[in-house]
Amino acid sequence: MRIAIYPGSFDPFTNGHLDIVDRAATLFDKIIIAIAVNSEKNTLFSLSEREDMIAEVIKNKKDVTVVSFTGLLVEFAKEVGAKTIIRGIRAVTDFEYEYAIYQMNRDLNPDLDTVFLLASKEYSFLSSTILKEVARYGQSVSEYAPPVISEALLKRFGHSA
């Protein structure tokens, strides 16, 4: 069984992330969305909030699951039997960062490879950070994130969904 792991902060999960999941699901038997616990990042949503929201979004996708993990991605990948990491690339600005992580992960575990999917045109400028900025000022982001997430974003900033 070809298991791939899609790691990220997903704070919160956007339609861009969802697009990567759906496309990766056509290439692998099972996709594990893995929310990374990053102590250096101050997140808007707690780990369990992010996990619950993503679980709701993928509830009808039988080959996709969501988990959170601490520690090194390469270790976690080994634990769950994943041989491939999925990452998305938007503009060239993503490239350097992604390439550096890729190199490090290859050094840490040469058996684990990374597959990069280029962002679809309609999501190439979409980021969790931008959605948070827009929602902060009470604007709906329903075009850019699944309903459970766009509503949670508005509520988090004290606006009615």
Is residue 23 annotated as part of the catalytic site, yes or no? no
By CB under 6 A, name the one of 44, 69, 74, 87 that touches ligand ADP: 87
Contact residue for ligand ADP among 65, 127, 140, 142 (CB under 6 A): 127
Q: Please say if 124 is a catalytic residue.
A: no
Whether residue 159 lies in the annotated active site: no
Residue 95 CB neighbours (<10 A): 12
Which of positions 21-80 make contact with ligand ADP (CB under 6 A)? none
Position among 20, 32, 53, 154 found at the interface with ligand ADP (CB under 6 A): 20
> Among 4, 5, 17, 154, which residue sits at the site for ligand ADP (rule: CB under 6 A)?
17
Total of chain residues touching ligand ADP, rule CB under 6 A: 17
For the residues of 60-105, what is the DSSP string, one character each? T-TTEEEEEE-S-HHHHHHHHT--EEEEEE-SHHHHHHHHHHHHHH
**CA–CA separation, 58 and 114 (whole Å):** 22
Is 78 catalytic? The answer is: no
Which residues are known catalytic residues?
A: 17, 41, 90, 128
